[in-house]
């Protein structure tokens, strides 16, 4: 009886509550988590912008930030689905390490001829990632072994294989430049640069590095297209909802949201454009994020994952093949772990035995900071991404500030705990 | 005249946006059994939560006066301390602990944290004797049935020197026999001078034991009836605010040819492989016909239905299912749904709903392809489907974005029904479709069933409430211990006939 609802609206008691302002308030409170999270990210960024005397938002640092944290966010996309489905995956860091080692061995050590081509190697590695995900998912889905245990085993197994592959403690490299571009490359400027302020030339006739302002026009154009598309689709969805007579969020709120989002995006685009353009890995990430937002919000398979995490038995009795769905969720996680491993290796330029060590915890933390429920059934892709960036900005900002790594961990732990306490508090209040 | 033990005066409790209780008054006299009745969502549970301190003093308006003292409870601990103990509908026992451990959980006989097990067990044995439960105090909770667990809860309440015992739907999940025993126990306590408040949907029970009945509707006290005025009709009228001359909607059956047939259906227990749970069941349903399956709890009706529906129960399933004479593949739930069979579960919270998601997503879950193309969901189409079914089944909610976990039982049941109606089945199996829901919502569910039959669907209703089966079905199969032991037209069936079929079935087995 604890779930008994308040009396029905027809019942008389509820009628004295006005409908109008309630819609606005409920739209705000319903999205409090989402807005709160983004506001938190902005506050944290401003804080570090201040404490690092403006270093955080420097174009070169923004590029670094993205390149350092992209693998966490890529893996967080998969982890979000795993956690929403009601499971956990502790093996992602080890799988990433193992895939990095495999890629390095294939490209540098093993005589594979044309198969050591970075593109071929990457595809093979993603397939191996899928197989690893399938191997773990099989036991979880069809034999109902708890995911915590299966992936804990996976964590030990793949870290071990990673180290064995690399022959004990040694690292393998250097990796080809074309492979490293995945992490440290920038998209080519097909349109050509636009110089707004010519660089200062000193007396010796040399240009001073960092002076002047030249924009990477391809980045600018891509950024503008993305922002316009964001505003256009937001507006179109809103119109469509209104036409069908369904309550949308209040117009001013929508405008503010769109303006703030666009301004933020344009600012970042400008910063990237004034350095070397859009990092390749940011483009990869952007595509993946859009894809996962679409899958979770609009596709039947996404809906089924939420239903399974919310009540697996009810989902099964609604005709959802929960075993196969579980397997798919882990295969997806395996592929994204592999991609994460490739990104790590590409950034380091070599494979090291400790690659990705402990990153599973950062990935899981990002998902929980992003508002996912440990019980399954609740969580948003954007939340996990923002959660990942919050972790990344804190890492980056504290490193620039010169905070000791030990204390960085303490702070990250407190932020994770705080975010979840905020969630639980909100839920109880509702 | 007996003294008043509890008075709740002008209790008003507001949740964001909604007044759940509005100036509710409740006055309970020492030594009586006071029943509180009302539809789901009327505010009974909220009132009891106010009384027991779940909603602490200050979060509501009004006064609670217990034995002449005004009380301001900060939590359950405070109310229990002065002798008000509530037993919730969902039992709060730890399954892997023993009876004794459960009874004294948080209240152990201990010195400096070291538990005196002998004292605990001796006292437990005494308490169990009081409630008439013959079990070893060391028995684990998981090993005893729900009826006995309910008794353990009561023993636990007694251990706290209870002065006012509140039972929230105590017989909701009990069999007829266990319910009777429980009610007898309540009467026995009354003879010993204990006061109890009984919250129940089952008006015959209220009728049997209550000294007074307070009716709550829409968060307000409607009236308090003394013993001499208590009758089912009177209570129902007061509960729904209108007289229910007929508890079942009228219908004119238009029965066609046989469309659904089950032949020689046998199922073995999923764990105890040698135990045959369903034994050579044969049944058929005609177009536009409502067929009932009667039986006692544990007769195998749910197991039968679930084994049909995508083999969701049991193993070594043999037999044949025909739809319009054509053999059906029901090997998985999705196959069953594709073949237009639907099963509405008896346990909507565990098997029917995603409680943390809203109405819209629950309604479309069994037929996502109906609102999507190539795996992409059309949000607008889904929205209109959800609103459409919300209207059709009269789900009372502020919008289709309300979480199903926040709906009352009757409205939850309507969401589950909507889900299966949207899957557009030809054969609909409804398992205890009105369990735990109020009179008004029951009538609405019956109306939906009648409408579906009129549309030409074949409907099977499993129910433990015999009057319900007699009221809404055309034909009744009687099931006992996994066997069909009787079949009769509803028009010449009666509760006695059904019971006789069950008993004869048992007799046959014994000989």
Q: A-chain residues within 8 Å CB-CB of B405? A: 3
Q: Do the Cβ atoms of B357 and A22 come within 8 Å?
A: no
Q: What angle is formed at CA B17 by the lines to CA A7 and CA B58, rounded to 5 degrees?
A: 95
Strand partners of residue B35 = B198, B213
Give the mean model confidence (pLDDT) for residues A206-233.
84
- CATH 1.10.3470: which residues of chain A? 37-185+279-424
The torsion angles phi and psi of A123, rounded to 5 degrees, stand at: -65, -45
Best of A2, A5, A294 to disrupt the B interface (most B CBs within 10 Å) is A5
A319 and chain B: CB distance < 8 Å anywhere? yes
Q: Give, in order, the Cα–Cα distances in Å from A262 to each of A34, A38, A60, A226, A229.
A: 17, 13, 22, 9, 10
Contacts of A40 (CB under 8 A, 6+ apart): A390, A419
pLDDT digits (tens, 9 = 90+) for A383-405: 999 999 999 999 899 999 999 98
Q: A-chain residues within 8 Å CB-CB of B350? A: 311, 313-314
pLDDT digits (tens, 9 = 90+) for A357-381: 999 999 999 999 999 998 999 999 9
Which residue in B365, B102, B218, B158 sits closest to A4, CA to CA?
B218
Q: Do the Cβ atoms of B377 and A299 come within 8 Å?
A: yes
Phi-psi label, residue A356: left if phi above 0, alpha if psi -120 to 50, beta otherwise: left
Which among A11, A244, A313 has CB closest to B383?
A244
CA B227 and chain centroid, separation: 26
pLDDT at B96: 87
Tell me the average pLDDT of chain A.
Answer: 87
pLDDT digits (tens, 9 = 90+) for A281-328: 999 999 999 999 999 999 999 999 999 999 999 999 999 999 999 999
Q: Give, in order, the Cα–Cα distances in Å from B30 to each of A322, B258, B484.
A: 54, 59, 49
What is the pLDDT confidence band of residue A27, given thresholds at 50, 70 and 90?
low
Dig out the tokens for A271 from the structure: 């910063």
Specify the length of chain A in residues. 430
pTM over 0.95: no
Sort A202 into a burial class: Cβ within 10 Å, 0-12 / 13-18 / 19+: exposed
Q: What angle is formed at CA B460 by the lines to CA B458 and CA B462, rounded to 5 degrees?
A: 170
Q: A-chain residues within 8 Å CB-CB of B414? A: none
Domain A37-185+279-424 has CATH 1.10.3470: yes
Cβ(A396)–Cβ(A345) below 8 Å = no
Q: A-chain residues within 8 Å CB-CB of B41? A: 4-8
Best of B19, B39, B48, B420 to disrupt the A interface (most A CBs within 10 Å) is B19
Q: Give, in order, the Cα–Cα distances in Å from B261 to each of A44, A114, B44, B285, B287.
A: 66, 63, 44, 6, 11
Best of B344, B365, B385, B423 to disrupt the A interface (most A CBs within 10 Å) is B365
pLDDT digits (tens, 9 = 90+) for A96-113: 999 999 999 999 988 888
Cβ(B305)–Cβ(B316) below 8 Å = no
Q: Do the Cβ atoms of A317 and B372 come within 8 Å?
A: no
A321 and chain B: CB distance < 8 Å anywhere? yes
Per-residue pLDDT of chain B (511 residues; tens, 9 = 90+): 468 899 999 999 887 656 788 899 999 999 999 999 887 667 888 898 899 888 888 889 999 999 988 999 998 888 888 889 988 877 778 888 999 988 888 777 778 888 888 888 889 999 998 888 888 999 998 888 777 888 898 888 888 888 999 998 887 767 777 888 889 999 998 998 899 999 887 788 888 899 999 998 878 898 898 988 888 878 877 877 655 556 788 888 889 999 999 999 999 988 888 888 899 999 999 999 999 999 877 788 999 999 999 988 888 999 999 999 999 999 999 999 999 999 999 889 999 999 999 999 999 999 999 999 999 999 889 999 999 999 999 998 888 988 898 888 889 999 999 999 999 999 999 999 988 787 778 889 999 999 999 999 999 999 988 888 999 999 999 998 899 999 999 988 888 788 788 777 654 444 3
Spell out the SS3 assignment of chain A. CCCCCCCCHHHCHHHHCCCHHHHHHHHHHHCHHHHHHHHHHHHHHHHHHHHCCCCCCCHHHHHHHHHHHHHHHHHHHHHHHHHHCCCCCCCHHHHHHHHHHHHHHHHHHCCCHHHHCHHHHHHHHHHHHHHHHHHHHHHHHHCCCCHHHHHHHHHHHHHHHHHHHCCCCCCECCCCHHHHHHHHCECCCCCCCEEEECCCECCCCCECCCCCEEECHHHHHHHHHHHHHHHHHHHHHHHHHHHCCCCCCCHHHHHHHHHHHHHHHHHHHHHHHCCCCCEHHHHHHHHHHHHHHHHHHHEHHHHHHHHHHHCHHHHHCCCCCHHHHHHHHHHHHHHHHHHHHHHHHHHHCCECCCCCCCHHHHHHHHHHHCCCCCCCCCCCHHHHHHHHHHHHHHHHHHHHHCCCHHHHHHHHHHHHHHHHHHHHHHHHHC
Q: Is the ipTM of this complex over 0.95?
A: no
Which residue in B129, B54, B132, B42 sits closest to B88, CA to CA?
B54
pLDDT at B41: 65
What domains sit in chain B, N to C, each tagged with a CATH number?
4-240 (3.40.50.300), 254-340+425-511 (3.40.50.300), 348-424 (no CATH)
């Amino acid at each position: 009886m604890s779930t008994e609802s308040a009396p029905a609206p027809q019942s008389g008691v509820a009628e004295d509550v006005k409908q109008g302002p309630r819609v606005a308030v409920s739209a705000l409170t319903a999205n409090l988590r989402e807005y709160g999270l983004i506001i938190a990210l902005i506050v944290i960024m401003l804080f570090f912008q201040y404490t690092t005397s403006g270093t955080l938002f420097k174009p070169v640092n923004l590029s670094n930030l993205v390149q350092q944290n992209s693998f966490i966010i890529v893996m967080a996309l998969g982890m979000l689905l795993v956690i929403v489905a009601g499971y956990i995956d502790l093996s992602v860091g080890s799988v990433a390490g193992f895939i990095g080692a495999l890629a390095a061995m294939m490209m540098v050590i093993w005589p594979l001829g044309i198969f050591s081509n970075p593109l071929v190697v990457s595809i093979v590695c993603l397939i191996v990632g899928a197989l690893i995900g399938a191997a773990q998912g099989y036991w979880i889905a069809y034999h109902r072994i708890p995911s915590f245990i299966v992936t804990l085993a996976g964590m030990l197994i793949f870290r071990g294989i990673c180290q064995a592959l690399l022959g004990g403690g040694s690292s393998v490299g250097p990796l080809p430049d074309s492979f490293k571009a995945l992490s440290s490359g920038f998209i080519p400027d097909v349109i050509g640069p636009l110089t707004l302020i010519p660089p200062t030339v000193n007396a010796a006739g040399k240009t001073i590095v960092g002076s002047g302002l030249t924009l990477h026009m391809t980045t600018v154009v891509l950024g503008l297209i993305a922002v316009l598309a964001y505003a256009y689709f937001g507006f179109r969805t809103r119109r469509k909802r209104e036409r069908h007579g369904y309550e949308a969020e209040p117009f001013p709120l929508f405008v503010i949201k769109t303006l703030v989002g666009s301004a933020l995006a344009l600012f970042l685009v400008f910063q990237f454009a004034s350095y070397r353009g859009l990092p390749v890995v940011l483009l990869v990430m952007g595509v993946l994020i859009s894809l996962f937002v679409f899958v979770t919000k609009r596709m039947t398979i996404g809906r089924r994952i939420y239903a399974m995490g919310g009540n697996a038995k009810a989902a099964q009795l609604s005709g959802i093949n929960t075993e196969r769905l579980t397997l798919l969720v882990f295969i997806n996680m395996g592929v994204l772990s592999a991609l994460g491993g490739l990104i790590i290796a590409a950034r380091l330029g070599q494979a090291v035995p400790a690659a990705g060590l402990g990153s599973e915890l950062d990935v899981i933390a990002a998902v929980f900071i992003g508002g996912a429920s440990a019980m399954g059934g609740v969580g948003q892709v954007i939340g996990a991404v923002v959660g990942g960036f919050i972790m990344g900005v804190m890492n980056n900002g504290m490193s620039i500030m010169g905070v000791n790594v030990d204390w960085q961990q303490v702070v990250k732990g407190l932020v994770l705990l705080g975010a979840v306490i905020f969630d639980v508090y909100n839920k109880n209040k509702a | 005249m007996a003294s008043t033990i509890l008075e709740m005066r002008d209790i008003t409790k507001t949740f964001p946006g909604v007044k759940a209780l509005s100036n509710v008054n409740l006055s309970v006299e020492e030594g009586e059994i006071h029943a509180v009745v009302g539809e789901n969502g009327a505010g009974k549970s909220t009132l009891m939560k106010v009384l027991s301190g779940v909603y602490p003093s200050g979060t509501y308006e009004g006064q609670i006066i217990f034995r002449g003292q005004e009380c301001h409870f900060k939590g359950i601990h405070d109310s229990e301390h002065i002798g008000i103990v509530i037993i919730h509908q969902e039992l709060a026992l730890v399954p892997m602990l023993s009876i004794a451990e459960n009874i004294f959980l948080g209240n152990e006989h201990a010195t400096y944290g070291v538990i005196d097990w002998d004292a605990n067990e001796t006292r437990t044995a005494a308490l169990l004797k009081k409630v008439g439960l013959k079990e070893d105090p060391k028995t684990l909770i998981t090993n005893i049935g729900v009826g006995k667990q309910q008794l353990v809860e009561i023993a636990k309440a007694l251990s706290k020197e209870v002065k006012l015992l509140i039972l929230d739907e105590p017989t909701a999940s009990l069999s007829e026999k266990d319910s009777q025993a429980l009610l007898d126990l309540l009467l026995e306590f009354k003879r010993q001078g204990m006061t109890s408040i009984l919250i129940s949907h089952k008006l015959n029970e209220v009728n049997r034991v209550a000294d007074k009945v307070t009716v709550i509707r829409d968060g307000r006290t409607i009236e308090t009836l003394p013993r001499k005025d208590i009758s089912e009709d009177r209570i129902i009228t007061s509960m729904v605010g209108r007289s229910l001359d007929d508890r079942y909607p009228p219908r004119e059956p238009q029965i066609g040819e046989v469309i659904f047939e089950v032949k020689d259906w046998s199922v073995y227990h999923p764990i105890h492989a040698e135990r045959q749970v369903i034994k050579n069941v044969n049944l058929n349903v005609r177009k536009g016909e409502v067929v009932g399956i009667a039986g006692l709890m544990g007769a195998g009706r749910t197991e039968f239905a679930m084994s049909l529906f995508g083999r969701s129960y049991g193993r070594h399933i043999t037999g044949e299912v025909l739809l319009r004479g054509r053999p059906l593949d029901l090997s998985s739930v999705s196959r069953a749904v594709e073949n237009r069979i639907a099963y509405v579960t008896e346990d909507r919270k565990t098997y029917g709903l995603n409680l943390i998601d809203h109405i819209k997503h629950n309604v479309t879950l069994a037929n996502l392809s109906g609102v999507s193309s190539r795996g992409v969901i059309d949000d607008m189409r889904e929205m209109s489907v959800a609103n459409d079914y919300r209207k059709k089944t009269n789900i009372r909610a502020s919008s289709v974005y309300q979480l199903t976990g926040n709906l009352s039982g009757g409205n939850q049941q309507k969401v589950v029904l909507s889900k299966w109606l949207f899957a557009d089945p030809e054969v609909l199996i409804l398992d205890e479709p009105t369990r735990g829901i109020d009179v008004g919502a029951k009538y609405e569910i019956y109306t939906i069933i009648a409408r579906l039959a009129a549309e030409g669907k074949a409907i099977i209703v499993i129910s433990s409430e015999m009057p319900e089966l007699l009221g809404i079905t055309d034909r009744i199969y009687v099931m006992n211990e996994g066997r069909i032991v009787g079949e009769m037209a509803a028009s010449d069936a009666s509760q006695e006939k059904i019971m006789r079929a069950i008993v004869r079935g048992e007799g046959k087995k014994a000989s």
